Each structure stands twice: as structure tokens, then as C-alpha cells.
Amino acid sequence: MLQIGDNAPFFELESSDGGKISSEDLKGVKYVLYFYPKDNTSGCTKEAIEFTELVDEFAKKDIKIFGVSPDKMDKHHKFIKDHNLKITLLSDPENTVSAAYYAYGDKTMYGKVYKGIIRSTFIINEDGVIEEAFYKVKAAGHAKKVLDCVL
């Protein structure tokens, strides 16, 4: 797993804002990168709405919010529209970025092991260094915990 002080892995992903965005584009910007399993599911929706509710508080601290899932851009756009989200969503359909952040791996449901997104969040500073890493996150209330870490 990634630790505080590690350099954040490089990424370049398609963005709901149009085009692609990379970690190189974000040099000089502090941001939150959170990984979630799937658009329009209960926990993922709750987490996205909570980040949206706090987006102005993060913006006051010049922090951008990016949500990452394997969903394709058409699903992201529907998710944004359905819930009036004000955060940028990134598409990682091959789970390569999720794997680089150790946010993809074995999960268990009803005794069955399968591969999937492990809900995880990272606060990354202007130099591309991880300031905080959260693994195996519970969706409800998580956005506020992240905000509290940057106050």
C-alpha cells in the first residue's frame, strides 16, 4: 500500500470535464483522488454527493476533487446529471491506475473472492506527494473526514 510521503503514481485518464487529465497536469495543485467501485450504487452515490456538498470547502483551500472508477464516460455523465455532482470523475476501465494506487484487488462478498475496487482515498500535495492515504473506506461520512485532514 502507498504511504504518507510516497510519490503518487503517475496517471492519465479520461475526464468528465472533457479530454484527459494526468498527474503531470496537476503539478502545483493539491487534490483528492478517491477510488470507488461503481456509479449509481448506494455507497458510491452517497460518497459522491458528500464530496459535492463539501466541494466549496475544499475549493476554499485550493483543493480539487477527483473520483475514479472503472465506469466509462457515458455512465459518469449520467451519474453526474442524475445527482447534480460538482466533482470531476475519471474513467479507469482497465483498473491500471486503481492497481497502481493499491485500490484494486481481492474482495469478498458472501464468501466468494473476486477482484474489484477497494474504496480508497488519497490527498496529494502540489509536489505529487501523498499527504494522507485512506484504505478500505466506509462511504458515509468519509468526505468530511478527508476535509478535516486538510483543515
Output the CATH code of domain 28-150: 3.40.30.10
CA 51 to chain centre: 10
pLDDT at 8 > cutoff 70: yes
**CA 117 to CA 104: how far, in whole Å?**
4
116-128 pLDDT, tens per residue? 999 999 999 999 9
Q: Are strands 63-69 and 88-91 parallel, antiparallel or unpaired?
A: parallel
Active-site position among 21, 26, 33, 44: 44
- Residue 151 is predicted with a pLDDT of 63
Instruction: Say which residue, 22 or 109, is predicted with more confidence.
Output: 22
Assigned C-alpha cell, 67: 473520483
pLDDT, mean of residues 70-79: 96
- Residue 106 is predicted with a pLDDT of 85
Q: Is 149 a catalytic residue?
A: no
For the chain, percent of residues with pLDDT exceeding 90: 91
**CA 116 to CA 125: how far, in whole Å?**
27
- Residue 85 is predicted with a pLDDT of 97
